[in-house]
Chain A
Amino acid sequence: MGDVLQPSTRINLEKAVVLVLDDNGASLDILSQVVSGFGVKQLYRAESVKDAQALVKTKTFDLVISDVQMPEVDGVEFIQWLRREASEPNRYIPVILVTGHTRKPDVLRIRDAGANFTVAKPITPKVLLERIYWVAREERAFIECPTFVGPDRRFKHEGPPPGTDGRRRDDLPAEVGDAQEPNMSQEEINNLMRPAKVQVS
Chain B
Amino acid sequence: MSVRKFHPANRLGAMIKQKGGMLVQNAIAAAEAGVESLREASLKSLDDTLTEMEARFGLKADRSDAAFEDLYALCLRIVDVAGFASETGVDKAIMSFCNLVDNCAEAGTWRWDSVDVHLDALRLLRSVGAQLPPADRANMLEGLYRVSGFRPGES
Closest residue of chain B to A120, judged by CB?
B155
CB proximity to B under 8 Å, residues A98-132: 100-104, 120-126, 128-129, 132
Max chain A C-beta neighbours (<10 A), residue from B10, B12, B91, B99: B12
CB proximity to A under 8 Å, residues B1-53: 1-13, 15-25, 27-35, 37-38, 41-42, 45
Which of A39, A63, A144 is within 8 Å of B27, CB to CB?
A39
Pairwise interchain contact A129-B28, C-beta atoms closer than 8 A: yes
Q: Which residues of A contact B82 (CB under 8 A)?
A: 121-122
Q: Which residues of A contact B130 (CB under 8 A)?
A: none
Q: Which residues of B contact A92 (CB under 8 A)?
A: 8-9
The verdict on A57 contacting chain B, using a C-beta distance below 8 Å, is no
Pairwise interchain contact A129-B80, C-beta atoms closer than 8 A: no
The smallest beta-carbon distance between A121 and chain B, in angstroms, is: 5
The smallest beta-carbon distance between B9 and chain A, in angstroms, is: 7
Given A89-B8, A143-B3, are A122 and B83 neighbors across the interface (CB < 8 Å)? yes
The verdict on A71 contacting chain B, using a C-beta distance below 8 Å, is yes
Pairwise interchain contact B3-A14, C-beta atoms closer than 8 A: no
- The CA of A29 and the CA of B18, in the complex, are separated in Å by 28
Of A2-10, A46-54, A174-182, the segment with at least 4 beta carbons within 8 Å of chain B is A2-10
The verdict on A87 contacting chain B, using a C-beta distance below 8 Å, is no
Of A133-141, A156-164, A183-191, A193-201, the segment with at least 4 beta carbons within 8 Å of chain B is A133-141
Pairwise interchain contact B20-A12, C-beta atoms closer than 8 A: yes
Max chain B C-beta neighbours (<10 A), residue from A29, A89, A152: A29
Which of A63, A100, A124, A146 is within 8 Å of B79, CB to CB?
A100
What is the interface residue range for chain A against chain B? 35 or more
The smallest beta-carbon distance between A60 and chain B, in angstroms, is: 9
Of B70-78, B108-116, B119-127, B136-144, the segment with at least 4 beta carbons within 8 Å of chain A is B70-78
Pairwise interchain contact A145-B16, C-beta atoms closer than 8 A: no
The smallest beta-carbon distance between A142 and chain B, in angstroms, is: 5
Pairwise interchain contact A26-B41, C-beta atoms closer than 8 A: yes
Contact with B along A1-41 (1 / 0, CB 8 A): 00001111111111110000010101101100111111100
The verdict on B62 contacting chain A, using a C-beta distance below 8 Å, is no
The verdict on A66 contacting chain B, using a C-beta distance below 8 Å, is no
Pairwise interchain contact A142-B7, C-beta atoms closer than 8 A: yes
The smallest beta-carbon distance between B74 and chain A, in angstroms, is: 11
Q: Which residues of B contact A125 (CB under 8 A)?
A: 27-28, 31-32, 35
Q: Which residues of A contact B33 (CB under 8 A)?
A: 37
Pairwise interchain contact B83-A124, C-beta atoms closer than 8 A: yes
Q: List 22 A-B contacts (CB under 8 A).
A: A9-B23, A10-B24, A11-B23, A12-B19, A12-B20, A16-B12, A37-B33, A39-B30, A92-B9, A94-B10, A100-B80, A124-B83, A125-B28, A126-B28, A128-B31, A138-B13, A141-B5, A143-B3, A144-B3, A144-B4, A144-B6, A146-B1
Q: A16-B16, A33-B35, A125-B35 are in contact. List 5 more A-B contacts (CB 8 A).
A: A9-B24, A22-B80, A37-B33, A101-B98, A101-B155
Interface residues of A (CB under 8 A from B): 5-16, 22, 24, 26-27, 29-30, 33-39, 62-63, 69, 71, 89, 92-94, 100-104, 120-126, 128-129, 132-133, 135-138, 141-147, 152
